[in-house]
Amino acid sequence: MVKHETSVQDKLKVGLEIHQQLDPKNKLFCNCNITDSTRYDFTFKRNLRPTQSEMGSYDQAALFESKKIKTVKYQSSKYSNCLIESDEEPPLMVNREALEIVLTVSLGLHCTIEDELHVMRKIVIDGSNTTGFQRSILVGRNGFFDIDGVRVGVQSICLEEDAARIINEQDRCDEEVNKIYSLDRLGIPLIEIALEPISNSPAFVTNVAQTVGRLLRSTKKVSRGLGSIRQDVNISMNDGSVVEVKGVQQLSQLALVIEYEAKRQDGLNQIAKELRGRNIDESGFMDNVTDVTDLIKRSSSKAVKKILSDNSRFIAFILRGFRGILSFEPYPGIRLGRELGDLVKSYGIGGIFHSDELPNYGISSEDVQSISSELKMEKNDAFVLIGGSTKLLNTVLTELSNRIKRSFSGVVPETRSARLDGVTVFSRPRPGSARMYPETDIPYISIEDNWLKKLSKNIPKPWNLVVDQVCKKYGINKTLAENIFDSRYFSLFEKIISKTSINPSFVISKLTEDLVSLEREGYDTSILTDEVLFYLFMQLNNSRISKESIPIIFEKLLKKEVNDVDEVIRAFGTERVTEGYVDKTISRIIDENDTVISEKGLDAIGLLMGRCMEILRGKIDGEKVNKKLMTKLT
């Protein structure tokens, strides 16, 4: 088998779908407040099942989810939910404020807007919607915008309701319930902007996503913060099958996802070419499905014993002519065996092994030989071994058979999720046209020319003018203006500057550079809410803490060594000290280093600063210490 590592991006097409939460006062189809809930007043359970479209067919993605799902538990709060989210009451009319935001964006992107808008139902039965569908309104279509001299087409702009927020799923839940959702996010207005496929570099696609995000933020009517904006990426090679990657939340992920998926798809095409070259009978390659529980339970493998401890069984089957194929790796990490493993894991089964990777995982060569003999394998065959409940195994075997058959064609159209490192993982088959049908509880919405003419006055200014405006308003340079405007802290920044006399450049450096650095170190900076950060800067403004102490306080809070800002100040001595204490400390350091000062003079300032800050760091600004040192030395 030969690996062909060519430029895999030459014939790549990328379609972006950008989802951004809006920030009106209320939800899309009810009058509930938009707020995160941490306490819940009541819970209820639902079993969701697929329904037929108006054409009498079922959506494949919905059928797939229905095979996995048991019972979904929903947690609801009276502060963010009502009977509409529970699907116990019909929806109200569309939130006019949210609709106007989407109409304005559609006008700004030169879209065609029809004179009637209709609410549609999109079937979703993964548990994220209590109704089993998501409501969606097509607002604009056939738009465009220009970037770096390239015209980017806009397929459609929709106003949708956001899904419920998942709290727990599968083996972390009890046996009756395999998913738990919070309803605080369900029904929040969401804009979806779907772009025409782009044939360009991952860097250009990232620039496109950033441009759209900036346009949305320029309206000042969208939410900010982690999870408020998400990109779905549709990727195909050589006009082949389209793979949808959902939930890319950070721009830095986007290029990584595109690059990984390009290699994965090229790798799958190479695997398919190898399979076709072996002249394998595509109708009879999967053979001799056998229960091998009695054989494998003799194994000393801890992985096997753990699976069997749950009263599971093991099934093995032959793949005729597949020897070496399951472990063939055109690119690092791209293997058919891994693809099959991800499919099985989506059902909650972790026990899948294949002969190309064995002996391993404690499964000995004797175990492998026993299974091979039982299956009556031939020289060029491979086998797959799966452990799980009998009910799930029957379903998984059917899905595996379908997936292996499709591996002869290369890329399989499917929906995948993205990890932070850009690696994508199987989620479900791609949905089809059978998932949409009209909403029967909400009448159509008339769009009048006078209304659009009025809204056209609210179209955001071009990005360069927005940046110039921020620069002039706060006396900062272009880089700082872009950094804070692109961050999720812009509204907080404006609030801090309006309430304090702190230098804007300093605030920006803390909210962008320092917090981004801590995120890269693996800290969950969402712990530092806007309320916590605002209070922290108020303490700085009130001279209770020093500028030097802010990174220390960030770190202590993120490490959960303390509960709040006040505790960090008390426990770790970050509260400001008296001028007298500072002067005495500096004088003592000078006296202790008299010999060095005599030899080096002012060149000793670096050493003296270091020793002073060992004691005073976080208690007084370093620039003040430096000034006092210079005064005493001169």
Quick check: is 453 in a domain?
no
User: In the chain, pLDDT over 90 holds for what percent of residues?
Assistant: 62
Residue 545 has pLDDT above 70, yes or no: yes
Average pLDDT, the chain: 89
From the CB of residue 248, how many other CB atoms can be counted at a distance below 10 Å?
25
pLDDT of residue 135: 96
> pTM, whole model, 2 decimals?
0.83
> Residue holding tokens 């697929």?
50
Taken in order 481, 486, 492, 494, the sign of the CA dihedral is: positive
Quick check: is 360 in a domain?
yes
pLDDT of residue 53: 62
Residue 376's alpha-carbon distances to 6, 373, 379, 385, in angstroms, are 39, 5, 10, 14
Averaged pLDDT, 29-47: 89
> Residue holding tokens 């209590």?
130
Q: Which residue has the higher pLDDT, 333 or 526?
A: 333
Residue 49 DSSP SS3: coil
d(CA 368, CA 349) in angstroms, rounded, equals 21
Round the CA-based radius of gyration of the chain to a whole number and report it.
30
Residue 235 has pLDDT above 80, yes or no: yes
pLDDT of residue 171: 44
pLDDT of residue 295: 93
By residue count, the chain amounts to: 634
d(CA 563, CA 561) in angstroms, rounded, equals 7
pLDDT of residue 274: 95
Same domain, 564 and 601: no
Contacts of 10 by beta carbon, 8 Å cutoff, 6+ apart: none
Weakest mean pLDDT among 94-98, 251-255, 492-496 = 251-255
Contacts of 104 by beta carbon, 8 Å cutoff, 6+ apart: 219, 455, 456, 458, 459
Same domain, 32 and 151: yes
Same domain, 583 and 566: no
Quick check: is 618 in a domain?
yes
Same domain, 216 and 114: yes
Same domain, 583 and 549: no
> Residue holding tokens 């702009």?
157
Weakest mean pLDDT among 185-194, 547-556, 566-575 = 566-575
Same domain, 351 and 365: yes
**CA–centroid distance for 234 within its chain:** 15
Weakest mean pLDDT among 194-208, 556-570, 572-586 = 572-586
> Residue holding tokens 């500096």?
586
pLDDT digits (tens, 9 = 90+) for 66-88: 666 668 999 999 999 999 999 99
Weakest mean pLDDT among 28-37, 50-59, 212-221, 468-477 = 50-59
Quick check: is 16 in a domain?
yes
Residue 386 has pLDDT above 60, yes or no: yes
Encoded amino acid at 550, one letter: I
Question: Pick from 521, 552, 572: which residue ends a domain?
Answer: 572
Same domain, 335 and 246: no
Residue 270's alpha-carbon distances to 1, 290, 319, 470, in angstroms, are 9, 30, 19, 51
pLDDT of residue 55: 61
pLDDT of residue 51: 66
pLDDT of residue 282: 78
CB half-sphere exposure, 179, CA atoms < 13 A: 24
The angle subtended at Cα 503 by Cα 501 and Cα 505, nearest 5°, is 150
d(CA 310, CA 296) in angstroms, rounded, equals 15
Burial environment of residue 593 by CB neighbours within 10 A (0 to 12, 13 to 18, 19 or more) = middle
For residues 198 and 14, the answer to whether their CB atoms sit within 8 Å is: yes
Phi, psi angles (nearest 5°) of residue 390: -55, -40
Strands 351-354 and 382-388: antiparallel
Averaged pLDDT, 532-551: 89
The domain containing residue 162 runs over which residues?
Answer: 12-275+434-438
pLDDT of residue 66: 65
Residue 48 has pLDDT above 90, yes or no: no
For residues 183 and 25, the answer to whether their CB atoms sit within 8 Å is: no
pLDDT digits (tens, 9 = 90+) for 356-373: 999 999 999 999 999 999
pLDDT of residue 174: 40
pLDDT band at 526 (very low <50, low <70, confident <90, very high): confident
Encoded amino acid at 153, one letter: G
Which two tokens mark 347? Answer: 């059902």
Helix (H) or strand (E) holding 414: strand 414-418
Give the number of domains in the chain: 4
Same domain, 48 and 190: yes
For residues 318 and 375, the answer to whether their CB atoms sit within 8 Å is: yes
Here the CATH number for the domain that contains residue 403 is 3.30.1360.30
pLDDT of residue 59: 65
**Across 62-76, 297-311, 328-342, which has the greatest mean pLDDT?**
328-342
Which two tokens mark 501? Answer: 């006399």
Question: What are the beta bridge partners of residue 353?
Answer: 385
Residue 545's alpha-carbon distances to 100, 295, 565, 571, in angstroms, are 44, 68, 10, 13
User: Which is nearest to 244 in space by CA: 11, 15, 12?
Assistant: 15
Same domain, 493 and 391: no
Q: Which residue has the higher pLDDT, 224 or 482?
A: 482
pLDDT band at 224 (very low <50, low <70, confident <90, very high): confident
pLDDT band at 56 (very low <50, low <70, confident <90, very high): low
Same domain, 187 and 330: no
Residue ranges of E strands in 32-96: 42-46, 71-76
Same domain, 78 and 195: yes
Same domain, 542 and 607: no
Q: Which residue has the higher pLDDT, 587 or 617?
A: 587
Q: Which residue has the higher pLDDT, 428 or 54?
A: 428
Phi, psi angles (nearest 5°) of residue 587: -60, -40
Taken in order 584, 589, 592, 594, the sign of the CA dihedral is: negative
End-to-end, the C-alpha distance of the chain in Å comes to: 76
d(CA 184, CA 37) in angstroms, rounded, equals 6
Structure-derived torsion over alpha carbons of residues 81, 87, 88, 89, reported in degrees to the nearest 10:
80
pLDDT band at 389 (very low <50, low <70, confident <90, very high): confident
Residue 169 has pLDDT above 80, yes or no: no
Which two tokens mark 629? Answer: 């040192």
Residue 517 has pLDDT above 60, yes or no: yes
Contacts of 379 by beta carbon, 8 Å cutoff, 6+ apart: 323
Which two tokens mark 161? Answer: 């309701």
**CA–centroid distance for 465 within its chain:** 30
Phi, psi angles (nearest 5°) of residue 286: -95, 115
Question: Pick from 407, 425, 452: which residue ends a domain?
Answer: 407
pLDDT of residue 346: 87
Quick check: is 364 in a domain?
yes
Given its phi and psi angles, is residue 307 left (phi above 0), alpha (psi -120 to 50 degrees) or beta?
Answer: alpha
Question: Pick from 572, 590, 625: which residue ends a domain?
Answer: 572
From the CB of residue 480, how many other CB atoms can be counted at a distance below 10 Å?
20
Quick check: is 425 in a domain?
no
Residue 432 has pLDDT above 90, yes or no: no
Q: Which residue has the higher pLDDT, 28 or 57?
A: 28
pLDDT of residue 1: 61
pLDDT digits (tens, 9 = 90+) for 401-427: 999 999 999 999 999 999 989 999 999
The most distant pair of C-alpha atoms in the chain lies apart, rounded to whole Å, by 93
Which two tokens mark 532? Answer: 């916590």
pLDDT band at 172 (very low <50, low <70, confident <90, very high): very low
pLDDT band at 27 (very low <50, low <70, confident <90, very high): very high
Quick check: is 455 in a domain?
no
Helix (H) or strand (E) holding 386: strand 382-388
Quick check: is 537 in a domain?
yes
Residue 570 has pLDDT above 90, yes or no: no
d(CA 261, CA 419) in angstroms, rounded, equals 12
